[in-house]
């Protein structure tokens, strides 16, 4: 299941510093991040999406998920660590391929 991540191409394109190649690369990276987030176990994925893509506070996430605040913080921390393990090798490989 794809996780929608806000990405406004018109904002990026409006800045003349961005070439078509950099816009294409940003789309590629967005897809890589979406797939990595989607691969997380549900409890971590939900916390990460609410925090980083929906911009909810820790308290709002705790209320939404009906969880203790410390549980939310732990899930976000572990979710970030899992994402780092997934993304670091992929993004490193992309930079080596250039």
* CATH number of the domain bearing residue 43: 1.10.10.10
pLDDT value of position 98? 62
Structural domain count, the chain = 1
Residue 48 within a domain: yes
Q: In the structure, what pLDDT confidence band is assigned to residue 62 with cuts at 50, 70 and 90? A: very high
Please check whether residue 87 is in contact with residue 28, taking contact to mean a CB–CB distance below 8 angstroms: no
The H-assigned helical ranges of the chain are: 9-14, 20-39, 42-48, 58-65, 69-97
Residue 2 within a domain: no
Spatial CB neighbours of 32, under 8 Å, sequence gap ≥ 6: 87, 90, 91, 94
Residue 58 within a domain: yes
Residue 3 within a domain: no
CB neighbours of residue 64 within 10 Å: 14
Q: What's this model's pTM, rounded to 2 decimal places? A: 0.71
pLDDT value of position 57? 97
Structure tokens at 74: 């732990």
The answer on pLDDT for 5 being more than 70 is no
Residue 16 within a domain: yes
Q: How many Å apart are CA 33 and CA 28, to the nearest integer? A: 9
Residue 76 within a domain: yes
Q: 29: domain range?
A: 9-97
pLDDT value of position 30? 84
């Amino acid at each position: 299941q794809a996780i929608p991540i806000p990405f406004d191409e018109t904002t990026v394109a409006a800045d003349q510093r961005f070439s078509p190649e950099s816009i294409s690369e940003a789309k590629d990276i967005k897809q890589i991040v979406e797939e990595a987030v989607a691969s997380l176990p549900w409890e971590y994925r939900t916390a990460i999406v609410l925090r980083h893509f929906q911009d909810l506070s820790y308290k709002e996430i705790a209320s939404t998920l009906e969880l203790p605040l410390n549980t939310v913080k732990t899930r976000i921390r572990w979710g970030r660590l899992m994402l780092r393990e997934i993304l670091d090798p992929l993004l490193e490989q992309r930079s080596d391929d250039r």
